Amino acid sequence: MKAQTTIGILVASALAITSASAVAQGRQGQGGASPPQRAQVERGQRDFDRDRVRDRDRVNDPAQDRKQDRDQDRDQDRTHAPDNAQNGNQGIYGGELMNAQERNQYREQLRITESDPKARSQFMKQHQEKMQLRAKEKGVNLPDPPADGSGD
């Protein structure tokens, strides 16, 4: 009986060791990825981390975003502005005698009078007279206003 118990214990131990070894190999096969797969997962994790840091920085520093937006707008303006553009004065009769606020008001008035040719013509005439008077006061020569009354 002693021999039978000893054999039983040896068989049970062998089965336990074999099953433990199989379980360990199964876990390694399931959880462990091949080197190319691991590298791809790691790259994805790095990209995710980088994007998360950028988003966090963007939330924490909106001034940086505004600066980047301004830089992008400036670069775009530089790329798309015609060579003869004079800082927004192009096409405005006497625009070089106007400040930025006056040019913006001028453009807004043109937009408002866009659908009424008579009002637009009247506005253009008043603007030309105002610019000619300003040029005379500053001793600057302006070209003759366009014959069709357009100055935009």
pLDDT digits over 61-91, tens only? 666 666 667 777 666 655 554 444 444 456 7
Per-residue confidence (pLDDT) for residue 99, from 0 to 100: 92
Return the closest-CA partner of residue 90 out of 29, 151, 139.
151
Q: Tell whether 108 is covered by a domain.
A: yes
Angle at 63 between CA 60 and CA 64, to 5 degrees: 80
**In a 10 Å sphere around its CB, with 0-12 CB exposed, 13-18 middle and 19+ buried, how is residue 124 labelled?**
buried
pLDDT digits over 90-130, tens only? 678 888 989 999 999 999 998 999 899 999 999 999 999 99
Asked which of 52, 68, 84 is the last residue of a domain, the reply is 68
CA distance 84 to 73: 19
Domain boundaries, position 102: 95-138
Q: 């302006």: which residue's tokens?
A: 142
Q: Tell whether 52 is covered by a domain.
A: yes
Q: How many domains does the chain have?
A: 2
Q: Tell whether 123 is covered by a domain.
A: yes
Q: Which residue has the higher pLDDT, 85 or 28?
A: 28
**In a 10 Å sphere around its CB, with 0-12 CB exposed, 13-18 middle and 19+ buried, how is residue 106 labelled?**
buried
Q: Tell whether 115 is covered by a domain.
A: yes
Q: Tell whether 104 is covered by a domain.
A: yes
